[in-house]
Amino acid sequence: MTPADLHFQADISHWTWTIAWFLWFVGIAGMGSVAYFFVRKAPVAYTILGALIIGLALVFSHLARWWNMPVVMWTMVVNGHFNFGSWMFIGIVVLSIHLVLGVLLAVSHMNFIFDRLKFLGFLRDILVALRESNLFVGLFAFVGFFGVIYSGFLLTQAVGIPLWGSPLIPVLWVLSGSVAAIAVLELMYVMGWVEERVSIFGMKLGLGLDAMKLLAVLAFLHVSVGLGSAGARLGAAEMISGSLAWMTWGGVVFIGILIPMVIAAWMLFAGKSKPLIVVSAVSALAGVLFLRAAVLLAGVWEPLVL
């Protein structure tokens, strides 16, 4: 029986593809920051900064009253209304810090600026010292990781949508964000921007992460459909066999997990192939986006009348 009161959040609060892209970029930037701790290459720093800027621009464009933001910020500061209990507020703080650190890190790699503007040499020295400090890069990695965690708890705190109340969502976001960061590194290897050892390590790690992600996706669906409230069951059913089944099985599982796993296993057995690496990385990145979109689009309110 279809509930009399079945409403998808996508129709009312419109947390749809714009937010899915935002979560995708935050995942890449966040787990990319963790990867930067180990890789420390300029293209990685630029990618993190680019992902953060695009992600924030997307979420800003999604605000129904974006033009009121200056007044909101001013009123919030003047009145001291800081809601530290809101994951969205925590996220704003974390992403702002991440953005500032990301700018510092990216600029520290931009030698062409300092080569032209010699008088900024002192700034270059400071930024390079920061970049070479494990404390700074460690802080950057931590803030990035916390940003990914935030993007998971952002959904779990939206208690109107029971499907999002699953504790597996932050775990899924970290796992899939890691997969996305590795896929970006693989693409950089193909472009010749990172060494082969990074690619080989990434491929092995990615294979394990894909397996864990598959388990987490299946657990999320199983727990939601088996143990969740009616709203969670209906949302999960939408992902399993409803209008979003193509995205779950085709996008998240087949494109996003199985194709990269098969390619990685094949390359570990038969040797590396750059075209296959590109296919694997693009598939993995698409799967991460599909996962976020499917979870968002499947969100329904608890029916008040069954």
Residues that bind another protein (CB under 8 A): 4-5, 7, 9, 11-15, 62-66, 68-69, 71-72, 75-76, 79, 81-83, 85-89, 91-92, 157-161, 164, 299, 301-302, 304-305
Nearer to another protein, 187 or 293 (CB): 293
Quick one: tokens of 162?
A: 């029971």
User: Given the complex with another protein, which of 47 and 224 has the nearer CB atom?
Assistant: 224
Q: Which is nearer to another protein, 71 or 268 (CB)?
A: 71
Report how far residue 225's alpha carbon sits from residue 189's, in angstroms, rounded to the nearest whole number.
40
Distance (Å, whole) CA 29 – CA 180: 9
3-state class (DSSP) for residue 132: coil
Task: Give me the sign of the Cα torsion angle 43, 49, 52, 56.
Answer: negative
CB of 61 to another protein, least distance (A): 11
For tokens 């507020």, name the residue: 89
- Least Å distance between CB 20 and another protein? 14
Question: Which CB sits closer to another protein, 140 or 146?
Answer: 146
- What is the nearest approach in angstroms of another protein to the Cβ of residue 278? 37
Query: Between 10 and 42, whose beta carbon lies closer to another protein?
Result: 10
Give long-range contacts, CB 8 A cutoff, 24+ apart: 274-278.
Answer: 274/190, 277/186, 277/187, 277/189, 277/190, 277/199, 278/187, 278/190
Q: Name, in order, each residue with C-beta under 8 angstroms of 130's C-beta and a sequence gap of 6 or more.
A: 104, 105, 108, 136
Compare residues 162 and 202 and give the one whose CB is closer to another protein. Answer: 162
Instruction: Report which of 212, 202, 208 is spatially closest to residue 272, judged by C-alpha positions.
Output: 202
Euclidean distance between CA atoms 179 and 184, whole angstroms: 9
Least distance CB 296 / another protein (angstroms):
10
To another protein, the closest distance from the beta carbon of 243 in angstroms equals 17
Could you tell me the smallest distance in angstroms from the CB atom of residue 72 to another protein?
5
CA-wise closest residue to 224 among 168, 173, 271, 140: 168
- Shortest separation between residue 147's beta carbon and another protein, angstroms: 15
For the chain, where are the E strands, in sequence order? none
Q: Between residues 25 and 189, which has the closer beta carbon with respect to another protein?
A: 25
